[in-house]
């Protein structure tokens, strides 16, 4: 049987930035109709390798072959002309334009008088394209009115409108619900049948096992291995990614939880999103909150933290009534909140590590007459970031240059410096790699053992089961179930997560 010719073959790829050997003799192969995962920790070189393939970066050495012929890709248009497209994690659409306008921007069909766009023809072309993809979308609808999942489908349609033969997807399911993920997988199946090669970048191991044919592993800018997905276990993939074995089943030590109640929530209500919420949080406990998208988990966290107003309910901290009407009130009561969107709500990414770390605690670094004790602030930031093992050249590095896991550690650092007793973690490991996840898990366990009390919201059931001493499950704004560490299973959680109780 004749061996199938590769759509893409990259060999001996080198890329050096000042002080960083980003790619060292890297290789990658993609076959027609293949879904090929590219995996590795943040900083492993995955994005850099794909930016070389799409013309964002130029390789310093090596060879790129497209359908057996060596090619040069000096810029992104050259990649596009070859039929190579990339859908980034942060979508590149213009919200005030329609679906059709976004898909054909810069190459709109014209009327007989070329000054005018032929909107009718353009809408029809897009309608036919969407029908081929079995997508129920109106070409005339504004992108701003679409869900994130539908915006992603528009990006895929845009890529296919260039007759793309290679489609690179970077964390395509990060912001999707389970039903939306199923739709995406259906589209991927259609593309596979048409012979489109798909490079699939994701940190979600279960997805990779389900959707991909092969996977290529990278570590520290180097090619490690290419394996058939069905022939390898998740544990083997992770070990190759991080260069060490990771105990995926590590659980917190139950005996560390005190009987002392640190936070009590009584009958919390907020419109239709929170209904009669009551629970207790113990000292040294990791309390998991699970549920499907829209269950009200983030809304509960924001209500406790004072970011959103409540209609009714009471909060007690260390047994005393607490009035929390703003995040400032929450911080004064020793509550820290790590938002699921750390870049928008948790960090000032243009500022350095030190500034981010000490920002909530500025009063404790003020001398007489309001002058800052900069030396003390620097010393404190350095001590805490070193204790958390934040990987950064110095505390004066801008946060935007850190990996996702290290950015998350900076958010944790600022609340530790503020000495918060209660920490609310909303999706603490979203968008970070397996190795960094393990470090975050270690940190959470250590904080709990030190007596900190943690509320952890997560959409990943293995994470909730692994980390929580106790689990509350929400559905449609209510707590529908409570599970102990010993009795919790994925099936039990999903049963409560779908337990609709009416209004």
What are the average pLDDT values for consecutive 10-residue runs of the chain, which has 503 residues? 80 86 94 94 83 94 96 93 84 87 86 83 90 83 84 83 88 74 86 92 84 93 94 85 57 64 95 93 94 85 93 95 92 86 71 85 75 82 81 85 79 81 86 73 86 90 89 93 89 82 54
Report the pLDDT value the prediction gives residue 216, as an integer from 0 to 100: 96
Nearest partner of 50 among 103, 99, 10, judged by Cα:
10
Pairing of strands 320-322, 222-228: unpaired
Q: Are 10 and 62 in contact (CB under 8 A)?
A: yes
Kindly write down the DSSP assignment for every residue of 152-191, as one continuous string.
HHHHHHHHHHTT-SEEEEESTTTT--HHHHHHHHHHHHHH
Alpha-carbon distance 331 to 56, whole Å? Answer: 43
At 26, list the tokens: 């890297």
Question: Tokens at residue 52, please?
Answer: 């070389």
Q: Does the CA dihedral 203-243-19-350 come out positive or negative?
A: positive
For position 229, what pLDDT does the model report? 95
pLDDT at 224: 94
pLDDT score recorded for residue 372 = 77
Between helix 234-242 and helix 434-449 the angle, nearest 10°, is: 90
Q: What is the pLDDT of residue 101?
A: 92
pLDDT of residue 199: 96
Q: Tell whether pTM > 0.85.
A: no
Distance CA 211, CA 218 (A): 19
Give the model's pLDDT for residue 279.
96
What are the CA-CA distances from residue 91 to residues 48, 102, 353 (Å)?
Answer: 18, 12, 27
Strands of the 422-426 sheet, one edge to the other: 335-338, 422-426, 453-457, 286-291, 470-475, 478-484
- Span between the terminal Cα atoms of the chain, in Å: 63
């Amino acid at each position: 049987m004749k061996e199938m010719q590769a759509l893409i073959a990259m060999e001996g790829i080198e890329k050096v930035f000042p002080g960083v050997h980003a790619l060292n003799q890297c290789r990658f192969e993609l076959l027609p109709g293949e879904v090929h995962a590219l995996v590795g920790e943040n900083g492993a070189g995955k994005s850099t390798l794909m930016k070389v393939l799409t013309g964002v970066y130029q390789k310093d050495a090596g060879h790129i072959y497209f359908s057996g012929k060596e090619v040069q890709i000096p810029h992104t248009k050259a990649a596009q002309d070859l039929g190579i497209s990339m859908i980034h994690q942060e979508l590149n659409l213009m919200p005030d334009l329609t679906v059709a306008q976004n898909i054909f921007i810069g190459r709109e069909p014209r009327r007989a008088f070329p000054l005018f766009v032929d909107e009718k023809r353009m809408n029809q072309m897009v309608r036919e394209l969407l029908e081929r993809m079995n997508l129920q979308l109106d070409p005339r609808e504004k992108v701003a009115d679409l869900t994130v999942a539908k915006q992603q489908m528009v990006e895929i349609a845009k890529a296919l409108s260039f007759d793309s033969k290679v489609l690179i997807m970077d964390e395509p399911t990060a912001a999707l619900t389970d039903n939306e993920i199923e739709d995406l997988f259906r589209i991927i199946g259609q593309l596979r049948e048409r012979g489109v090669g798909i490079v699939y970048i994701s940190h979600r191991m279960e997805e990779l096992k389900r959707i991909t044919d092969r996977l290529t592993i990278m570590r520290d800018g180097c090619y490690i291995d290419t394996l058939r997905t069905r022939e390898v276990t998740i544990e083997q993939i992770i070990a190759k990614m991080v260069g060490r074995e990771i105990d995926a089943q590590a659980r917190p030590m139950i005996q560390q939880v005190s009987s002392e109640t640190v936070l009590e929530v009584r009958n919390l209500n907020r419109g239709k999103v929170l209904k009669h919420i009551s629970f207790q949080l113990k000292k040294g406990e990791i309390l998991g909150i699970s549920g499907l998208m829209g269950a009200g988990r983030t809304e509960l966290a924001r209500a406790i933290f004072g970011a959103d107003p409540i209609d009714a309910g009471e909060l007690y901290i260390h047994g005393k009534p607490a009035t929390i009407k703003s995040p400032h009130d929450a911080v004064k009561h020793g509550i820290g909140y790590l938002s699921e969107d750390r870049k928008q709500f948790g960090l000032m990414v243009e500022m350095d590590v030190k500034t981010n770390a000490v920002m909530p605690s500025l009063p404790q670094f003020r001398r007489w007459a309001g002058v800052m004790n900069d030396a003390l602030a620097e010393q404190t930031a350095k001590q805490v970031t070193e204790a958390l093992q934040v990987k950064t050249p110095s505390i004066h590095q801008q946060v935007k240059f850190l990996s996702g896991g290290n950015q998350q550690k900076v958010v944790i650092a600022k609340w530790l410096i503020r000495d918060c007793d209660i920490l609310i973690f909303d999706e603490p490991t979203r968008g970070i790699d397996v190795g960094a996840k393990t470090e975050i898990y270690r940190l959470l366990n250590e904080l709990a053992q030190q007596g900190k009390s943690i509320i952890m919201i997560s959409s990943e059931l293995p994470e909730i089961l692994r980390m929580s001493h106790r689990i509350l499950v929400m559905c449609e704004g209510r707590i529908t179930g409570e599970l102990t560490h010993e009795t919790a299973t994925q099936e039990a959680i999903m049963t409560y997560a779908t337990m609709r109780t009416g209004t």
